[in-house]
Amino acid sequence: RIPRAMVLTELAREVHQLQHGPSDDETPESDAASEQNKEVDLMLADLQSGIPGPLALGSSSPSLPPQISASANHHVLLTGATGYVGTAILHKLLTDSRVQTVYLLVRSPDPAAGLERVRAAATTAGWWDEPIHAPKVQIWSGDLARPRLGLSEAAWSQLEGTTSSSHDTSEDAAAPPVTAIVHNGALVHWHRSYTELRAANVLATAQLVACVAANPHITRLEYISGGAQWDPADPRVVFDPVTLRH
């Protein structure tokens, strides 16, 4: 039986063994199975104990966010804006009259290069109009796989809802606060293991959740996910160790 948690390289090895039999130098418990168990152990540790270190939420209860009406102005952070789904989400945000600013976390060396990536994706999708859409976009150069999402100190403080005199210039002070997050960004790669995907997909999400808890201006977090969907009526335990290993 082929484990469902197996990556493609391990799957190819398993299929080869089923077709040709195991090699003479392979042990009954293959290296692939051993590595898979390590991956599952790490995943279970994350699920059971939460994210360790500075990414974990503090013990103090955050202040309740203010109630914002549907007609209020919103300033939204969007991740993953250059992908197929992300550029469609960005289009909806930019054409919504309630959204005044869309901050885009883009993997780029500088905001100009990031805007070019966003513009290219939107142009390919057939909806970009420079004078209409560009004024509402602000690029935050960053990387989901890095601490603090790879953001500058000013951008991170704005996202977290804090200020610092070391970077509180008049421009930073006037920047509108983030009021919502649409987390659509992820590292999707079928050849990579959980260990390799963990920083961009798990730790980045934990950092955003921590920002929502710390920032009283953020009233909503939308998380865009793919893969298997859980049926609440299913009596099986979600992420049960036996299910993950087999």
Q: Which residue has the higher pLDDT, 198 or 172?
A: 198
Q: For 49-79, write each residue's pLDDT tens digit.
A: 665 554 444 434 444 444 445 557 899 999 9
Task: Taking residues 133-148, report their average pLDDT.
Answer: 97
Q: At 155, list the tokens.
A: 């951008």
Q: For 193-222, write each residue's pLDDT tens digit.
A: 888 999 999 999 999 999 999 999 999 999
